[in-house]
Amino acid sequence: MSTATSTLQKPVKKRRKVPMPYLLLLPGMLWLITFFLIPILTLVKTSVNMDLQNYDPTSASTGSFWGNFWYAARTHEAPFARSFIYALAATLIALCIAYPLAYGIAFKSGRWKNVLLVLVVAPFFCSFILRTIAWKQILGQEGPVFHLLLNLHLVTLQTHITASPGAVIAGLSYNFLPFMTLPLYSSLERIDPRTLEASGDLYANAFTTFRKVTLPLSLPGVVAGTLLTFIPAAGDYVNAEILGNPSTTMIGNVINAQFLRTSNYTLAAALSFVFMVMIIAIVLFYISRAGTEELV
Amino acid sequence: MSKLSRWFGRNLIRIYMVMGFTYLFIPILYTIIFSFNDYIKSNLVWRGFTWHNWQTPCGVPNICSDLGQSLKIGLLATFVATILGTMIAFALGRYAFRGRPLVNTLIFLPMASPELVLGASLLTIFINLGFNLGFWTIVIAHVMFCISFVVVTVKARIASLDPRLEQAAMDLYANERETFRRITFPLVAPGIAGAALLAFSLSFDDFIITNFNSGTVETFPLFVYHNAERGLPAQANVIGSSMFLIALITVLAGQIVSRKRKIA
């Protein structure tokens, strides 16, 4: 680290004998290759080692049954579809809540900016599961929201707010809100206030300035934020378990149960891999349409 | 009326921010309130106020040792991930080299992979290699998913630096090492601190990846999950609330101190 330099002119770097960037990259990259890339490849191997269509857990694991992926996807269409629909809904809700919040922190908070930014991350310290359980209580039959709605005659005693798709989506959008807010903030914060003034000088009203200047300039943040919300939301199973019912099962619940309860590792691995490929396909498609060149 | 509507229009964003933060903190407020509940067995219904839970935060088996595990894992994972991630960020932000797209992809993929897939695939390799699941496998996993977030945060900070500051230092006969130590690093430091805070909060609150790779070790989120079915003791609320309040007070104190220093 101590020899890391700010190489501003290219000739300086070319004279070096030790390729500095590779030295800096080596430990981190080795970590990611060993504990991310190789495990993913192992997962692929695990997912084809037994024939899922004639599944026999006692047989020795040999062979490569590439049809397993197709089989896994086809037999679990509903939880796959639910995961993507719930995650999409949760992402859109989170975007609507987080955008004005990030805008306010970036432009309207003055010297409290850093404190407000930490407030966005602070809920992480009060445990994600504890907060989800709190939502279950707040929305549950004994909770304040239900009592209020009951007194207003908007619900009956038979109505349930929790144990529904709506509750799962609400929980997802709540839990991943910081992942939406932070990238939005960092792209909004980078906007030069002079561009906004220039827009005003050119007789644009506040709304036009927002639509023609602020929003397009914050688009990289929107792309990063929606991805960082959508991906964990689609793979989550805790919200569906605590706030949902058996008919809101997401793909995460299925994979988790196959891994940790049923111990059908082949099916669990195949489902995980199919899920990951779908997510990456969605991400690549989205990035290519949104037109941000470099996300990281 | 028009006065009121004008005030409303001017402060719309501020009103919205208050609402947004209220929404963010409602479940935390609920957690804090129920930490004072005089509960029996399960802490679901309000039965009356008591100080008892706050006087005996460790009064439930395992809860404080699990918190200790979470803190130890969080600090260790943050330390390693921040160093490795910062090094990568400097390589990406300050050098031209071959294989950059490959590095970018390898940084991006863990963030684009669902936690479940990361946790499950690590579990398969730990089992295949015959690792004993426990403290160290959790640390390894946490470092892995924190690195990318550190790289992205620090890299953004490096990119926002004004290159003229470093050029000025060089013009004033500072050599490369001095320029780095006295100009570049201090300017990037807030970004590194932010990245470390993010890494710690991600590690401290992680459940899904930890659940796959923990073996018999229990962290605080796992404690909450395991006890949720049987009925969660109010001591869990005490721990959750106090971690939240400690984080909040630390940051506010830091803000006040740094402002005083600026004035002085």
Q: Is B102 on the interface with A (CB under 8 A)?
A: no
Closest CB from B14, B197, B255 relative to A104:
B14
Residue B5 has pLDDT above 80, yes or no: no
Helix spans in A108-237 (H)? 113-121, 128-139, 144-151, 165-175, 177-189, 193-201, 206-209, 215-217, 219-235
Q: Is B177 on the interface with A (CB under 8 A)?
A: yes
**Measuring CA to CA, which residue among B187, B47, B36 is closest to residue A6?**
B187
Q: Which residue of B has its CA nearest to A187?
A: B156
Q: How many CB atoms lie within 10 A of CB A108?
A: 17
Round the average pLDDT of chain B to a whole number and report it. Answer: 88
For the domain B61-232, what is the CATH superfamily, name and number? MetI-like (1.10.3720.10)
Instruction: Please report the pLDDT score of residue B262 as a whole number.
Output: 66
Q: Is B116 on the interface with A (CB under 8 A)?
A: yes
Residue B136 has pLDDT above 60, yes or no: yes
Kindly report, residue by residue over B220-254, the tens digit of the pLDDT: 999 999 988 777 888 999 999 999 999 888 888 88
Round the average pLDDT of chain A to a whole number and report it. Answer: 84
Q: How many Cα neighbours within 13 Å face the side chain of B119? A: 23
Cβ contact, residue pair B114, A259, below 8 Å:
no
Under the banding of pLDDT at 50, 70 and 90, the label for residue A7 is: very low
Interface predicted TM-score (ipTM) of this complex, two decimals: 0.87
Under the banding of pLDDT at 50, 70 and 90, the label for residue B263 is: low
Q: How many angstroms separate the CA atoms of B161 and A172, rounded?
A: 36
Chains A–B, number of C-beta pairs less than 8 Å apart: 291
Q: For A76-90, A108-122, B18-32, which range has the lowest pLDDT when averaged over its residues?
A: A108-122
Q: How many angstroms separate the CA atoms of B57 and B41, rounded?
A: 16
Within 8 A of B167 by CB-CB distance, chain A residues are 8
Comparing A200 with B116, the larger pLDDT belongs to B116
* Burial (CB count within 10 angstroms: exposed 0-12, middle 13-18, buried 19+), residue B27: buried
Cβ contact, residue pair B202, A124, below 8 Å:
yes
Instruction: Please report the pLDDT score of residue B229 as a whole number.
Output: 77
Which residues, in sequence order, are CB contacts of A46 under 8 Å at separation 6+?
A: A265, A266, A269, B124
Under the banding of pLDDT at 50, 70 and 90, the label for residue A64 is: confident
Range B33-39 average pLDDT:
88
Cβ contact, residue pair B114, A111, below 8 Å:
no
Residue ranges per structural domain of chain B: 2-52, 61-232
Instruction: Please report the pLDDT score of residue A82 as a whole number.
Output: 94
Closest CB from A42, A98, A114 relative to B121:
A42
CATH number of A76-263: 1.10.3720.10
Q: How many angstroms separate the CA atoms of B21 and A116, rounded?
A: 9
Range A106-111 average pLDDT:
83
Range A240-266 average pLDDT:
88
- A125 DSSP 8-state letter: G
Cβ contact, residue pair A296, B148, below 8 Å:
yes
Q: Is B180 on the interface with A (CB under 8 A)?
A: yes
Q: How many angstroms separate the CA atoms of B53 and B202, rounded?
A: 27
Instruction: Please report the pLDDT score of residue B128 as a whole number.
Output: 81
Phi, psi of A253 (to 5 degrees): -65, -40
Q: Which residue of B has its CA nearest to A28?
A: B84
Phi, psi of B42 (to 5 degrees): -125, 140
Kindly report, residue by residue over A15-46, the tens digit of the pLDDT: 545 578 888 999 999 999 999 999 999 888 88
* DSSP per residue, B44-78: TS---B-SHHHH-TT-STTHHHHHHHHHHHHHHHH
What's the residue count for chain A?
Answer: 296
Which pair of structure tokens corresponds to residue B61? 């088996």
Q: How many angstroms separate the CA atoms of A62 and A69, rounded?
A: 16
Residue ranges per structural domain of chain A: 76-263
Instruction: Please report the pLDDT score of residue B178 as a whole number.
Output: 85
Closest CB from A25, A114, A174 relative to B88:
A25
Give the pTM. Answer: 0.86
To probe the interface with A, which of B152, B205, B206, B256 has the most A CB atoms within 10 Å?
A: B205
Kindly report, residue by residue over B196-211, the tens digit of the pLDDT: 988 998 999 999 999 9
Residue A292 has pLDDT above 70, yes or no: no
Range A119-148 average pLDDT:
85
Within 8 A of A1 by CB-CB distance, chain B residues are 87
Cβ contact, residue pair A28, B144, below 8 Å:
no
Q: What is the percent of chain B where pLDDT is above 90?
A: 39
Nearest-Cα distance to chain B for A60, in Å, is 15
Residue A3 has pLDDT above 50, yes or no: no
Under the banding of pLDDT at 50, 70 and 90, the label for residue B94 is: confident
Q: Are B166 and A6 spatial neighbours (Cβ–Cβ below 8 Å)? A: yes
Helices (H) and strands (E) in chain A, counts: 17, 0
